[in-house]
Amino acid sequence: MKDERPTNLDISTIKLPITAWASISHRVSGILSIPIFALFLWTLQLSLESKDSFHTLQENFSAPLAKVFILSVLTVFVYHVLAGIKHLIMDLGYGETFEGGVIGAKILFASTGLSFISIGWWLW
């Protein structure tokens, strides 16, 4: 029997549904959260060492580039938490259909966008 399926798929040419993008980005945000969490713990340790180290960190974090980094990092965390909540809701039996998954993914991306705006407003 001859198999006529393609053997080498070019993922960049495949149109993925929004649910696939939500799933892939949830996994990526989880992977990114590990080194980011370690960096946050290291920063916390530095801030608690002395008053001088705290003030140095405070000055460094007030720079615009540092604020962009903090905004990005917090957005990754918020997205990962919201996507986890979406998965927990689906585990309870809500939104398990394809249509429900699409609605959940749209709500997830919209909520993350609103969180991004809120965090940006808070930082500046």
pLDDT tens sequence across 25-54 = 999 999 999 999 999 999 999 999 999 999
Q: Mean pLDDT over all residues of the chain?
A: 92
Is residue 21 within 8 A of residue 106, CB to CB? The reply is no
Token pair, residue 53, equals: 């180290």
pLDDT at 8 over 70: no
Structure confidence at residue 91 (pLDDT): 93
- Residue with structure tokens 């689906």? 90
Q: How many residues are present in the chain?
A: 124
- Give the SS3 label for residue 27: helix
